[in-house]
Structure 1
C-alpha cells in the first residue's frame, strides 16, 4: 500500500465502519457518533468547575471498554469518544471563566483576566464567541502539526534509537516530567518513584511475585485503573470535600449581569485578534509537544506574549489586558487549545504520554489491543498492510470530525453548558465518586479493586495536601512496564552488559539531559525560594 492508500483506508475505517443507527436509510458511523457525544460531554465537563477532561476520560474509559469489548473494532469508537472529551473540555472551560470568574479548568484561569471584565461590561456573548473562535482555531492548527510531525518523529526514532537509547529516553521523559510538574523537582522525583514502586509490585517477568509481602492480595499487583482512577479522581474528590469544609460561603448568590450592546464579532475584530491567535497557537503547539508541561503553562505564556504584543500595538482608547481586551481572551484560549493535538505527538510517535489526557489515550490502546503507540506504528509497508497505521489515520479522521463539531456546534454547546456552572459541588462530588467506583467495578468486579482504588485515593489526597502533583505518579505507573521491558531487552541485546545505558552517545546524551533537567529545576526552585 502507498501512503495515500493508508490515508484512504483510515478514513474508510471511520466512515464505513460499524453503524450506530440509520437515518432515512443512511447508516450513521458509530465512531462519528461517539466523537460527537464526546465533544458534547467534554464541553459540559469543562464548563463545570471542579471537573476536567481527564476526570471524565478516566471515568468513561472502563465503562466504554466494558460496553464495546476488547476487539479491535472497538478501538476507534472508544478513542473517538476520548478525543472528543479532550477537545470539548478545553473549549468548555472558558464558559465559567468568562461568565462567573470561575475557571472550569486550571488552564482557563488566564481567560478570567479579560473574559470576566467583558461580562461585567455586558459583553459576555461576544467574549464567548471570541473564546470559541480562538480555541477551535488553535486546536485545528495543533492537529495539523500532529499530522505532519508525528510520522516524522516516529521514523527518526525508529531509525536512530535502539533498546539502550529508548531506555534512556524513557528515563529522560520521567525526569523532565518530575522536574516540570511535580510541585518541585524533589517532590516530582518522589512522585515518580512511588509510581514506579507501585507498578513493580507483583509484576515483572520472574516466576514469583515481587514486593508482595507474601500476601495473595498483592501478588497480582495493582491494575492501571485502580491506581490511576484512585490517585487522580478519588484523591481530587477527597481534596474538594476538604476545601468545601473550609469554604462554607462557596455557593453564595452570584450577581446577575445583563448583556447589552452589539454582541456580534465583526470582521475588523476578527482581523484584530488573528495575530494573537496565530502567535498563541504556535506557542501552545510547541509546548504541547514537550512531555509534561501542559496547557497551564501554554495559556500563561500565550497570555504574556500577547500582552507584550498588545502593549506595542494597543489602539487609542482600547482597554488594556486585564480590563476586558478581546485580544487577551483570544491569546489565552488559542494557547491552551493548541496543546490538545500536539500533545499526541510523543504519544503516537514515542509511546510516551505527556499529560493526563494523553495517559488515557495510551490506556485505551493498551486495554483494547490491536494498536501499540510508538515508532513502529508509522511504518509504510507496501507488501504487508500495517493495520496500526490504518488505525492512526482513522484516529486523525476522528480528530478532524471533532474539530468540525467544535467549529459548527461548539458555540451553541458553550451557551447551553452555562447551566452546568450552577450545579453545586455538594451535589456533584458524590456523583463523581459513585461513577468512579462503578467504572472500576465494571472493569474489575471484585471488592479488592474497590479497596485498592480507595487506598490510592487516600494517597492522591495526601499528595495534594503536601502540594505534590499526582501526574508524575500516574505517568510513571503507565511507563513503568515499558521502562522495565526496554531495560531487559537492552541488557540482553548488549550481551548482559551492566553499563548498557552508556553504550552509545545518544543514550549518554539522554542520561545527561535527565541529570541537567533535575539539577536546573532544583537550582531554579532554590533561587525562587531565596528571592521569596
Structure 2
C-alpha cells in the first residue's frame, strides 16, 4: 500500500470510527466529538489565568485512559481530545490578555502590550477578532509544514542513522533542551540529570531492581504519570499557594467593555496584517521544530521583528507597537500559535518532545501503546498496512479538524469565555490540586502513587524556588528509557565496544555538537 492509501485510512479512522450518534442519518464519530470537546475546553482553560493547556492535558489524560482503556481504538479519541486542548488553549490565552490585561498563558504576555490599549480605546472586539484570525492562520500554516516535514525527516533518520548515531542524537537533544530552557545552563543540566536519575529506579534489563532502597513499592519504578504530574502540576500549585500566602489574594483586573463601531475585519482591515502574520508564522514554525525552545520565545521574536518593520512602514498617525497597534497582536498570536503544529515534527520523526504539551502527547502514546513515535512511523511495509502510519495521519486529521473548528466557532467562543478570567486563584488552585490527585488515583489505583506524586510535587516546588526549570527533568524522564535501550542495543551490535559513539563519524559529530552546545551556552550565560 502506498502513502495515499494510509492517508485515506487515517482520514476514515477519524470520521468513520466508532459512532457516537447520528444526525439525519449522518454518523458522528467519537473522535470528532472528542476533538470538539477538547478544543472548547482548551479555549476556556487558556482564558483562565493560572491554568494552561499542559495542565488541563495532564489532568485529562488519566481520566481519558480510564474511560477508553488501552486498546488501539482509544488512540485517536484520546489524542484528539489532547490536541483540541493544546490548540484551544493557545487561542484562549489572548482573551484575558486583551480584556483584562492579564495573559491567560505565558505566550500571550506580548498580546497585552497592544490588546489592552485597544480595549481601553473601545476596540476590544476588534482586538479579539485580530487575535483569532492571526492565531488560526499561524496554526494552519504550522500544521501544513508538519505534514510535509515530519515524514521526510523520519525517512532521512531511518535511512542514514543506525543505533550509535541515534544514541548520539538523543544525547544532543537532551543537551540542547537542558541548555536553552531556563536562565542557566548549569541548572538545566541539573534538572536533566535528576530526570535521568529518577527514571533509572527499577529500570534496565537486570533482574534485580536498582536504586529502590529496599522499598517494595519502587520495584517497578516511579509511575510516569506520578512523576510528570507531580513535578509539573503539583509543584506549580505549591508555588502559587505560597505566593498567595505571602502576597494575599490578588484581585482580577477590570475589563473595558465599551463597544466599537469598527469591530468587524474586512479585507481592508486584514490586508495590512498579512505580512506580520506570515513572518511570525514562519518564525514560530521554525522555533517549534527545535526541541525545548517553546512558544514564549516565538511570541517575543515575532513581536520584536514586527515592531521593527512597523516603525519603518506605519503611517504618521498610526499607533506604534505597545500603543494599541493591531499589527502587534497579529505578530504575537501568529507566532505562538504556529509553534503547536511544528512541535510535533520532532515528536513524530524522532520521538523527542519539544515542550510540555508534546510531553503529554507522547505520554498518551506510551500509555495506550501500539504507537511508537520515531522514524519507523512513516516506513512503508510492502503491500501491508503500517498501522502506526495510519494513526499518524489520523492524528494529522484531528489537527486539521481542530483548525476547522477554530476558523468556524473559535472566534465566537473566545468572546464568550472572557468571564473565566474572573475566577480567583484561591478557588482555582485547590480544584486543580484535587483533580490532579484524583486523576492519578484513577489511573494507578494506589495510595503509593499519590504519595509519589506529592513527593515529586515537593521536588517541583523546590526546583522552582531555586529557579530550575522542571521541563528538562520531565523530558529526560521520558527519553531515558529510549536512550538506555538504544545505547544497550548499539553496545551489543558493535561487539560490546565501549567506544561505539566515537567509531561512527556521524555519532562522533553528534557528541562533539553536544559538547559545543553546552559550552557555547555556558559562555553566553557568563557574558
Is the structural similarity TM-score above 0.5? yes
Alignment of 1:264-279 (within 5 A): 264-279=264-279
- TM-score, normalised on structure 2? 0.99
- Partner-residue secondary structure (3-state), 2:242: helix
Q: Is the 8 A contact 2:124 2:256 kept in 1?
A: no
Q: How many Å apart are 1:252 and its aligned residue?
A: 5.6
Structure 2 counterpart of 1:289: 289
- Aligned twin of 2:298: 298
CA distance in 2, matches of 1:115, 1:52: 20
- Match runs of 1:384-395 below 5 Å: 384-395=384-395
Q: Which residue in the other structure is 2:471 paired with?
A: 471
- Structure 1 vs Structure 2 CA RMSD: 1.0
Contact 1:209 1:219 in 2 (8 A): yes
1:530 is aligned to: none
TM-score, normalised on structure 1?
A: 0.98
Runs of 4+ in structure 1 deviating by more than 4 angstroms, as ranges, are none
1:335-361, Cα deviation, whole Å (9 max, x unpaired): 000000011000000001011100111
The 8 Å contact of residues 57 and 360 in structure 2, kept in 1 or not, is answered as yes
Deviation at 1:239, TM superposition (A): 0.7
Distance in 2 (CA, whole Å) between partners of 1:84 and 1:255 is 27
SS of 2:353's partner is coil
- CA offsets, 1:492-517, max 9 Å, x none? 01000000111211111111111111
DSSP-derived class of the 1:336 partner = helix
CA distance in 2, matches of 1:48, 1:171: 37
Deviates more, 1:311-320 or 1:19-28: 19-28
Q: Is the 8 A contact 1:14 1:29 kept in 2?
A: yes
The whole-number CA distance in structure 2 between the counterparts of 1:173 and 1:182 is 16
Distance in 1 (alpha carbons) for counterparts of 2:331 and 2:303: 5
Q: Show structure 2 runs of 5+ residues with no match.
A: none
1:252-288 CA-partner distances (Å, limit 9, x unpaired): 6626442333211131120000000000000000000
Unaligned runs of 5+ in 1: 528-532
Aligned partners of 1:196 and 1:67: how far apart in 2? 31
Distance 1:165 1:253, change over 3 A: closer
Q: Secondary structure of the residue that 2:211 maps to in structure 1?
A: coil
Alignment-derived partner of residue 425 in structure 1: 425
* Separation (CA, whole Å) in 1 of partners of 2:273 and 2:117: 17
**Counterpart residue number, 2:361:** 361
Equivalenced residue count is 527
Q: Which residue in 1 is equivalent to 2:335?
A: 335
- Determine helix, strand or coil for the equivalent of 1:372: coil
Task: Find out whether 1:5 has 2:5 as its counterpart.
Answer: yes
CA distance in 2, matches of 1:140, 1:74: 25
Aligned to 2:210: 210
Matches within 5 A, 1:353-502: 353-502=353-502
CA distance in 2, matches of 1:43, 1:408: 14
Alpha-carbon deviation of 1:218? 2.1
Q: Distance in 1 between matches of 2:447 and 2:421?
A: 34
1:4-57 per-position Cα deviation (integer Å, ceiling 9, x unaligned): 111111111111110112223322111111000010010000000011000001
Equivalent runs, 1:66-85 vs 2, <5 Å: 66-85=66-85
Query: Does the 8 Å CA contact 1:182/1:471 hold for their aligned counterparts?
Result: no
